[in-house]
Chain A
Amino acid sequence: MAADRLDRLVDADAGIISRDIFVDADIFRIELEQVFARAWLFVGHASQVPNPGDFVTSRLGTDEVLLTRDDAGELHVLLNSCRHRGMKVCRYDEGNTLSFTCPYHGWSYSTDGTLVSVAGELLGVPHFRPGYGGALDRSAWGLVPVAQVANHHGLVFATWDPQAPPFADYVGDFHWWLDNLASSASGEKGKVVALRGVQKWRIRANWKFVAENFLGDNYHGPPSHESVDAVGIGPGGTAAATRHGAASGQKRSIASTSFVRLGHGATGSAHYFMGYPTFEEPELTEYFTRCFAARRARFEQEGRPPGAMGPATLFPSLSFHAGPFPRALLVAHPISPTETEVWRWYLVDADAPPEVVDWLRRYYLRYSGPAGLVEQDDMENWDYASEASEGTIARRLPYNYQLGLGMTQPSELRGAVESEYFMTEENA
């Protein structure tokens, strides 16, 4: 497909976007090559692999990978596919090992630095001397590593592209949001662990519905999520009234932030502060009151802006609430133009007392994930919108992205603009 046809699919000035972008198989294949094979993608949280030999399986776009920690403590991201016939060398979600043996023909790969020079190098080849004449170049047939890995205070990212810009440049000033995601409730970077177990499920929707839902779509909140606030799934129950726990009657966000060239975006700004939640349970109030006081002091001392809370999306497919409350993230893995596999992680303070962790687990699960009420609201929208956009007649019609069009002002953040009204579709 020629680039000029791609240009015709999006009229940014008019706020018109073709539905083909959300349903067309050719465009989807181009996205896999041009976006997912080149972008920095979230792999997992370092706390999932705390010890030498620990591993978890993950995905980068359509490819399955292993996140491993070698015997020297270094993190590696390796393609989970045997170089001989492509079999998954590991079929477990997590575990501890310094080597992976393919179940098909038995090639073995090692991450043990005392035996191999590069993590994932091919170590064991059955019948190496009699069958291959000892000539197979084991150093050329190891598990394929990603081109670059970055550990942002425990958030582990990787890219397949050796030419990709350094992670810090890719993120730019959007790092304020990632910093908060990676921080404890008291604002300490890296003092966070992921709750055990990653939720994984598939939805019948294009991955971009997920991305844009989190990168500044304030518009869908009231009609889509009124019911969850009505039943009081938030920290304050039905009395204090919102699913995030912000006090009712609170001033609305004045803006959404869009990093126009980098592709990241967020509801709110780096300075907009949504407020701290109130809790029904006294022990939760006590814990978070202490944390939030420490956070205020720390942010002032470190010169960090009070906002950058999200929801937000790091281009292309990492969406999250940056915290301090809640702190949760998802990756929308593309499967087909109209199918997406969603993976969710939930973060808690590394030193949180058990009752706080338990409370947060219950809160996260009633909020998010395949059984979470807010996520169900969103999934209904994404699934039915995808289905209703696939029709022969329906797909001829464009989507309307005119909300807030042209109503932006430069942000103090590099490469970013802020919307003048708190609802906008400029981010998308």
Chain B
Amino acid sequence: MSGWRVVVDRDRCQGYANCLDAAPDVFDLDEHDIAVVLTERFDDAEHDRLERAVRRCPVAALRLEPATDRPGTDGRPR
């Protein structure tokens, strides 16, 4: 499977909102001010834009990884 997904480490996220600023169509903050990703899977064409948004996080709470058909991860860094 091609494509990409963005994983949020909910323990690290502090609600800085930089991801939202970088890609408002991709990110939002939930009721606890934790980042949520609005789309499950992204095309390869989106990779560079997502990577820029992921790098904007001050506490490295975001990870961009290849999308697979495996069931979801636990959201923690490997």
By a beta-carbon cutoff of 8 Å, the part of chain A in contact with chain B is 98-99, 101, 103, 106, 108, 110, 112, 114-115, 123-130
Kindly list chain A residues whose C-beta atoms are within 8 Å of the C-beta of B32: 129-130
Task: Assess whether B16 is in contact with A114, with CB atoms less than 8 Å apart.
Answer: no
Stretch at the interface among B3-11, B18-26, B36-44, B65-73: B18-26
Task: Assess whether A106 is in contact with B14, with CB atoms less than 8 Å apart.
Answer: yes
Kindly list chain A residues whose C-beta atoms are within 8 Å of the C-beta of B14: 106, 126-127
Q: How many A-B residue pairs have CB under 8 A?
A: 49
Task: Assess whether B18 is in contact with A115, with CB atoms less than 8 Å apart.
Answer: no
Determine the distance from Cα of A115 to Cα of B58 in the docked complex, in whole angstroms: 19
By a beta-carbon cutoff of 8 Å, the part of chain B in contact with chain A is 14-18, 20-22, 24, 31-33, 56, 58
A106 touches which of B20, B22, B24, B58 (Cβ 8 Å): B58
Selected A-B contacts with CB under 8 Å, 9 pairs: A101-B56, A101-B58, A106-B58, A108-B21, A115-B21, A123-B17, A124-B21, A127-B14, A129-B33
B21 touches which of A103, A110, A125, A126 (Cβ 8 Å): A110
Given known pairs A101-B16, A106-B16, A106-B58, the reply for A127 and B33 (CB within 8 Å) is yes
Write the nearest CB–CB distance from A370 to chain B, whole angstroms. 36
Kindly list chain A residues whose C-beta atoms are within 8 Å of the C-beta of B22: 99
Kindly list chain B residues whose C-beta atoms are within 8 Å of the C-beta of A103: 58
Kindly list chain A residues whose C-beta atoms are within 8 Å of the C-beta of B16: 101, 106, 108, 124, 126
Task: Assess whether A130 is in contact with B33, with CB atoms less than 8 Å apart.
Answer: yes
Determine the distance from Cα of A81 to Cα of B58 in the docked complex, in whole angstroms: 18
Write the nearest CB–CB distance from A390 to chain B, whole angstroms. 46
Task: Assess whether A124 is in contact with B24, with CB atoms less than 8 Å apart.
Answer: no
Determine the distance from Cα of A112 to Cα of B22 in the docked complex, in whole angstroms: 9
Determine the distance from Cα of A103 to Cα of B18 in the docked complex, in whole angstroms: 12
Kindly list chain B residues whose C-beta atoms are within 8 Å of the C-beta of A115: 20-21, 24
Given known pairs A106-B58, A114-B24, A115-B24, the reply for A99 and B18 (CB within 8 Å) is yes
Task: Assess whether A126 is in contact with B15, with CB atoms less than 8 Å apart.
Answer: yes
Write the nearest CB–CB distance from A213 to chain B, whole angstroms. 46
Write the nearest CB–CB distance from B70 to chain A, whole angstroms. 32
Kindly list chain A residues whose C-beta atoms are within 8 Å of the C-beta of B56: 99, 101
- A-B pairs, top 5 by smallest CB distance, nearest first, are A124-B17, A126-B14, A99-B21, A124-B16, A106-B16
Write the nearest CB–CB distance from A209 to chain B, whole angstroms. 44
Kindly list chain B residues whose C-beta atoms are within 8 Å of the C-beta of A123: 17, 20-21
Kindly list chain A residues whose C-beta atoms are within 8 Å of the C-beta of B18: 99, 101, 108, 124
Task: Assess whether B21 is in contact with A128, with CB atoms less than 8 Å apart.
Answer: no
Determine the distance from Cα of A126 to Cα of B20 in the docked complex, in whole angstroms: 13
Write the nearest CB–CB distance from B45 to chain A, whole angstroms. 21
Given known pairs A101-B58, A106-B58, the reply for A128 and B15 (CB within 8 Å) is yes
